[in-house]
Structure 1
Amino acid sequence: MKINIQLSDIIMRQSVFFSVVLSLFLLSCGGPKVAIQYQGTSPIPYDNPNEESNESQSDSDTYNPDPYVMVFSIPNLKGGNSGLRKRIHYPEEAIQNEVQGIVTVQFRIHENGDTSGFVVLEGIGHGCDEAVIDAIKESTFTLDNSENEPFASFLWMVRTEFIL
């Protein structure tokens, strides 16, 4: 079954969900903490330049896409947030220098679950940025293809808070 979902609704639901998860995590842990929040974006399909579009276009050369996104499958992080959290270690240098803050990393999840294109959008240095990227690289992302739909690449973001 295919469902049209407005992108703003997806983002709002993810924000509420991850805020609750983040709050529960912060209440349940002691000592140096790594709080993780991640969210994805809509799939970024591969546009084959050799194929003609089924979309009828007017005389204008501009294409105005529908504001809705068809989502076939969303990547699942094997082990969830807790699995990723276990792979992120608070760097000793950051602990010694009492570095705290938020690291936000954006990356691409490919059709086969591999990751690439890491960009630190917000960093705090002292090994924390690298710790998040390394943990993501060690993670496994799976895509559900029960509908036998074509896969798409995803642009994903992980927001990690380091708290002493």
Structure 2
Amino acid sequence: DKGGQLYALDRPYLLNDIITIFEKQRSLVNKPKLFFVQACRDDNLDASNTVKLDSEYDSVLSIPTHADFLILHSTVKAYRKYNGSWMIQALCDIIGKHYEDLDLLHMITLMNKKVTYERVTPTNEDTNNKQQMIETKFTLTKYLKFQ
């Protein structure tokens, strides 16, 4: 996946080109499209940190340095966001309603749905009938639930 290219037996493919094919399929609208990419993304190696576990045994665990991150972007790469804080407002609404019964990733899915159905108030022809989609990247290794 170096530079967004996936190398197959016949030739390299751009992941964005593959995704574009699925985006254009009307029969897949409102259906989840899952991509599991098992590929290097560069030549860097992920170091690890050692953690001593709180247990009756003195266990030590090695965890990758990039573990347990959650990154939300208000829009997908290469697209603009619109005025207002749609993502933050939606996230606050969803957390306020569901913090006791859902974990964070489930709440983010609901937030995505809420923002997906928002429409830009047309101020000019260029933004008429436009929307935005949040991009989520995570390396969480545990459920994250508010108490």
Question: Fold-level match, TM-score > 0.5?
Answer: no
> Which has the higher Rg, Structure 1 or Structure 2?
2
TM-score (norm. length: structure 2):
0.28
TM-score (norm. length: structure 1):
0.26
Higher strand share: 1
